[in-house]
Amino acid sequence: MTEKRLNKFISESGFCSRREADALIEQGRVTINGRRPELGTKVGPGDSVEVDGRPIRASAADKGDRVYIAYNKPIGITCTTERGVQGNIIDAIGHRQRIFPIGRLDKPSEGLIFLTSDGDIVNKILRAENAHDKEYIVTVDKPVSSRFVERMSRGVPILGTVTKPCQVSVVSKFVFKIILTQGLNRQIRRMCEYLGYEVQALKRTRIMNVSVEGLRPGQWRDLTATEMAELNAAVAHSSKTAAEGHVRPAKRIKPEGGERTEKRPSGQPRRPGGMGEGRGVLDADSRSEQGRASRGNSGKARRDDKAPAKTLYVNPNQAKTDQPAKKPGKKKPGGSTLTLKRKG
């Protein structure tokens, strides 16, 4: 065995993923030859690695000891390895080897999820930049419109970013299919909420080349040799290190007419089509602010906005001290003295 980074050594053994291995190292639960290492420490031939006093064996070179399963997660099962959580996915499956899920599905969601003892493949699949597609069937509370499909496909602003373009198609009046290459937290539910829809049911039907077809809710099976060959080929050039749901922040685009200081809440739908979206139309508050600014600068109503301003001619040969003659006004009789008239 050549030298390996400690987190890779632990994940390849099937004990946990690399991210979880890093957490164990930081918590001081890992030792190498009886000493607590630092992050990034390498393990060499003959080194003894333990987690909580339990020896960690090096993985087989051919990975023949790894477990890869497909599980049809029912509604109500939580995707966590914490055995203290009621309804956790590990107890639900009851596998004899130590396994952990690749990604997650929300508790109220159902469908396909992978579990494995190979921590090395987890980050390859989860890394957002690798663009491994996942297919979902979603039921919502309102009829699926063409406008909704277009907006979902183009990308929706959630969680401080804009979702990547994706494939969306109508299945029936209240059901649509969506294929994502991201794994943001509650992504589909947040996207629908932003557009004014509420998810009633959500099922993941496919991950890359593996389908949930043939598995009843609660059933699992080992991935076939063909599926594993295609899976390994798909992730052969994938990056190995990134947290689940990682996404590059989108560039902020300033709206026409200046930058707005007030942000729209994530769950508030935009204007319906044909009501000014994307045309630089200002809202009522912006119009009133511009109106106040215009009146404050000119002291007049906005009636002069359309007329060009008049420019006074200045004679360059005229002395600066010269002042234009003023037209004499009529003086009132009696000057400023108040005159009283007697009656009779």
- The pLDDT tens digits of the residues spanning 236-265 come to 776 543 333 333 333 333 334 444 444 444
pLDDT tier for residue 66 given thresholds of 50, 70 and 90: confident
Query: So which residues are the catalytic ones?
Result: 106
Q: What is the pLDDT of residue 247?
A: 34
| Residue 211 φ/ψ, nearest 5 degrees | -110, 155
Q: What is the pLDDT of residue 326?
A: 53
> Per the confidence metrics, is the pTM higher than 0.75?
no
Asked if 79 and 70 count as a contact pair (C-beta separation under 8 A), the reply is no
Strands 42-43 and 54-55: unpaired
From the candidate CATH numbers 3.10.290.10, 3.30.300.160, 3.30.420.40, 3.40.50.150, the one assigned to the domain spanning 4-55? 3.10.290.10
Residue 107: name the closest of 85, 123, 140, 126 by CA: 85
Quote the CA–CA distance of 143 and 213 in Å, as a whole number: 26
Q: What is the pLDDT, as a whole number, of residue 103?
A: 85
More confident residue, 184 or 15: 184
Q: What is the CATH number of domain 66-130+210-247?
A: 3.30.70.580
Return mean pLDDT, the chain.
Answer: 76
Q: pLDDT tier at 10 (50, 70, 90 boundaries)?
A: confident
According to DSSP H, which parts of the chain are helical? 6-12, 18-26, 89-93, 119-126, 146-154, 187-194, 225-234, 284-298
The gap from C-alpha 343 to its chain's centroid, in whole angstroms, comes to 91
What local confidence, expressed as pLDDT, does residue 336 receive? 53
The contacts of residue 227 (CB under 8 Å, 6+ apart) are 209, 210
* pLDDT score of 316: 53
Any idea which fold 133-207 has? Alpha-Beta Plaits (3.30.70)
- Per-residue confidence (pLDDT) for residue 294, from 0 to 100: 47
Between 131 and 18, the higher pLDDT residue = 18
Q: Do domains 4-55 and 133-207 have the same CATH topology?
A: no
Domain spans in the chain, listed from the N-terminal domain onward: 4-55, 66-130+210-247, 133-207
